[in-house]
């Protein structure tokens, strides 16, 4: 099986999407960050008070997702029609779960946008909590589902 991002001489390239259909596309990605109880409680407390860590991280994640084409060398620029980020607080594991949904009407999928949105949002949580816990761990980041384009609506096995 061959990688599509190289020409026959081995030069990296942006795949040509001109022949692909313009369809409505959607992708959802998920990731998480695990931290000490002290850090977790500081974030959770902020969630109900003024000065919310997760609002800053949501803003950063959405702005980061819009920069996907600029960060990932072979990504196409896409007319993003919607971006949203959702959070779940998992107190049992001192873990914060982040989910990013991206939508576009274009010729190529928005998986990278959703994954980049999650990554930047989690890095922002990390940055804002690292004075409390310098050893946090950003956990598995992966695609949950994907809609539009040739492969249609596909959902991650086990979800």
Q: How far apart (Å, rounded) are the C-alpha atoms in residues 108 and 24?
A: 10
150 binds a copy of itself (CB under 8 A): no
Residue 127 designated active-site: yes
User: Which of 16, 52, 127, 133 is flagged as catalytic?
Assistant: 127
Q: For a copy of itself, which residue of 23, 44, 69, 95 counts as binding (CB under 8 A)?
A: 69
Q: How far apart (Å, rounded) are the C-alpha atoms in residues 78 and 63?
A: 14
Dig out the tokens for 24 from the structure.
Answer: 């409505």
Q: For a copy of itself, which residue of 23, 42, 89, 97 counts as binding (CB under 8 A)?
A: 42
Q: For a copy of itself, which residue of 28, 94, 107, 149 counts as binding (CB under 8 A)?
A: 107
**Total number of residues that touch a copy of itself (CB under 8 A):** 94
Distances from the Cα of 35 to the Cα of 86, 102, 114, 155, angstroms: 19, 27, 23, 29
- Annotated catalytic residues are 127
């Amino acid at each position: 099986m061959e990688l599509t991002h190289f020409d026959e001489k081995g030069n990296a390239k942006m795949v040509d999407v001109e022949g692909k259909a313009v369809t409505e596309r959607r992708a959802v990605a998920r990731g998480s960050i695990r931290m000490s109880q002290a850090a977790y409680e500081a974030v959770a407390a902020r969630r109900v008070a003024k000065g919310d860590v997760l609002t800053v991280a949501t803003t950063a994640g959405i702005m980061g997702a819009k920069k996907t084409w600029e960060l990932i060398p072979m990504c196409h620029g896409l007319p993003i029609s919607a971006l949203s980020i959702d959070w779940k607080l998992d107190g049992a594991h001192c873990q914060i779960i982040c989910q990013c949904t991206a939508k576009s009407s274009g010729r190529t999928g928005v998986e990278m946008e959703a994954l980049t949105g999650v990554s930047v949002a989690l890095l922002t949580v990390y940055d804002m909590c690292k004075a409390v816990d310098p050893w946090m761990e950003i956990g598995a980041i992966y695609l949950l589902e994907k809609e539009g384009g040739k492969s249609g609506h596909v959902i991650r096995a086990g979800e």
